[in-house]
A and B are shown apart, each in its own frame.
Chain A
Amino acid sequence: MTTKNVDKTGVGKPDSRDYTKKRSQLKLIMYRFSKNRLAVLGLCILCVLALCAIFADVIADYQTMAIKQNIMNKLQPPSAEHWLGTDQYGRDIFARIIHGARISLTMGIGTVLTSLTIGSIFGALAGYYGGKVDNIIMRIMDVFLAIPNMLMAVTIVGALGGGLVNLLIAMSISSIPRFSRVIRSSILSVRDMDYIEAARACGTKDSRIIYKHVLPNAIGPIIVNATLSLANTILSISGMSFIGLGIEKPMPEWGSMLSEGRAQMRYHPNLVIFPGIAIALAVLGLNLVGDGLRDALDPKLKN
């Protein structure tokens, strides 16, 4: 089976890596990840975006450049002063995109962390105890899963009203079921391993077994899913803002920049092109890293 060891980057050549050399699991994963050119490219994109988000205030002042309206300066084409031009209120598009990165990334990460935490509690309980607990939790999750994600989020935001916190709640609730499913199934795959039985034989408490033995061994698919779901969340947040149900104006969110720029796009296409590229880059970076992590964590899955 030489085909199994073929590497995407190696274009068909048999794998020359030495798997016999002793290395820690983590180093091996990092090594495999670093050999995947696309994944590294994704990581670079994400690093640049993250740096932009962290140093947004240093790059462009929030109040004067991203928020303050300056009608005299409206709809400027890209220039040395305004790299990507200005919008219909005279705000610098580059500054708004940089600050938008901050909003999208923090909202995305916040959503994923919230739904991951809650989802992993439900998923761990269902997977570890099985039987009745599993049945009750998963049937409730099935109900949530049967409502299309976007519909659920729109209903919650529509009912609670817009704003950062409500959007975060809506997005989290709609992605909890998916996380609990993933976590449940990866826990099921390790639950009956010998080392779990050994831990139980030592009299370890259930909560300790779940957190110390089960979760770390089931974490691979969870990390991959979290990365890919972060990409989806960023897409949904901008989609919600685009239809006017997300972040409130004048906050510089990528989706709402697109919907505001729409009226002017015929003569000023830069208003819609650049925010869209920002969303696509963030999502692309996360997808690449997610795929790369999946391949690095479980080389068997790879074609």
Chain B
Amino acid sequence: MARYVFKRILMMIPVLLGISFIIFAILSFSPGDPVMMMLGDNPDPQAYAELTRELGLDKPFFVQYFNYIASALKGNFGKSWITKIPVFDEILARFPTTFYITVGAICLKVLIGVPIGVISAVKQYSIVDNVGMVLTLIFASMPTFWLGLILILVFSLYLGVLPAVGAESWQNFVLPCVTLAIGSAATLVRMTRSTMLEVIRQDYIRTARAKGASERVVIYKHALRNALLPVITIVGLNFGVMLGGTMVIESLFAMPGLGTNTITAIRMKDRPMVMASVLYVAFLAGVINLLVDLAYAYVDPRVKAQYLRK
């Protein structure tokens, strides 16, 4: 098991290096001069040349890249070109906002998605199932930012019960979490329903029924436990995707999170900030995926046996 974890962590290194190269290349070869961004439209030529040298922008691309990687390996990801703050101070200061939105949305999504999915599957083709399926189709097709706008319109502007922008108190997080949760909850309902339907047809469910177990025991003890495994994996894997996908939600609700930070940094051509943000999100997503895989192995003896064999 430890060997497997070690191998997986080692495998993250080339991926992160690859990401750093791609993003670095995109940012370096794109039009627009970061030095002009920092000095304004008509800079003093001497100051311009000095700053270019200071940032290392006068060197060839590969030298710049290797310098970046060399200092990143020492744990120094540099300072923001715009604010001059060390990038990780900024990222760590903004991370909680993004983290709360993501975690809140995932909890809500599971609380909504799993029960409805189970009921839909158990009562397949009933009115509840049919209505549920139509609703999930509609919610899954809605753009999240539009749903967010409508929620702001109703709850902030018309009813005035929840704040529309900012991140000062817990109330600020209600609408973003709900917005992010609803669309993906709809997908989760459909997934839970289909895995549940698959499980219900298995032989061990028939055996449980045949030995006279009550319907509740059959569904909750035998079916749900087995159906939840793949569902949990998908939810976990989604965590990483969500971390990177809160950009639109954060900018809709004007929240100072990682997403809005990345958008600003990209607009300002702030290379150290963009690099660190992207690498941080990719690293987190990789770690979360690993944890999900491990948790899965822990819960399911069949998977655990597979890893031990490797």
Contacts and interface: CB of A to CB of B under 8 A. Distances in A.
Interface of A: 3, 11-12, 38, 139-140, 142-144, 146-151, 154-156, 158-161, 231, 235, 238-239, 242-243, 245, 255, 258, 262, 265-266, 269, 272-273, 275-276, 279-281, 283-284, 287-288, 303
B120 to A, nearest CB: 11
A147 B19 contact: yes
Contact of B240 (A12, A148, A154, A258): A148
A276 B18 contact: no
Contacts of A148: 240-241, 243-245, 281-282, 285
B274 interface: yes
Contacts of B243: 148
Contacts of A265: 149, 152-153, 157
Interface residues of B, number: 52
Q: Which 8 A-B pairs give the minimum distances between C-beta atoms?
A: A148-B244, A158-B266, A143-B18, A159-B30, A276-B146, A284-B141, A283-B141, A151-B244
Interface of B: 14-16, 18-19, 22-23, 26-27, 30-32, 125, 137-138, 140-146, 149-150, 152-153, 157, 193-194, 197-198, 201, 240-241, 243-245, 247-248, 251-252, 262-263, 266-267, 269, 274, 278, 281-282, 285-286
Contacts of B32: 159, 161
B145 A154 contact: no
B118 to A, nearest CB: 14
B153 A280 contact: no
Contact of A235 (B30, B143, B285): B143
Contacts of A38: 137
Secondary structure of the B side of the interface? helix
Given A140-B18, A150-B248, A272-B149, A158 B142 contact: no
A167 to B, nearest CB: 14
A235 B278 CA distance: 22
A142 B15 contact: yes
A269 B153 contact: yes
A145 B83 CA distance: 31
Contact of A146 (B19, B26, B247): B19
Nearest to B248: A239
A283 B140 CA distance: 9
A283 B171 CA distance: 31
A150 B263 CA distance: 11
B19 A276 contact: no
B121 to A, nearest CB: 9
A38 to B, nearest CB: 8
A279 B137 CA distance: 14
Contacts of A303: 193-194, 197-198
Contacts of B149: 258, 262, 265, 272, 276
Given A148-B244, A303-B197, A287 B140 contact: yes
Contacts of A238: 143
29 contacts: A139-B14, A143-B14, A143-B15, A148-B240, A148-B243, A149-B241, A149-B244, A149-B245, A150-B247, A151-B247, A154-B247, A154-B262, A155-B27, A155-B266, A155-B278, A159-B266, A160-B31, A238-B143, A242-B252, A243-B263, A258-B146, A258-B149, A265-B149, A265-B153, A266-B157, A280-B143, A284-B141, A287-B137, A287-B140
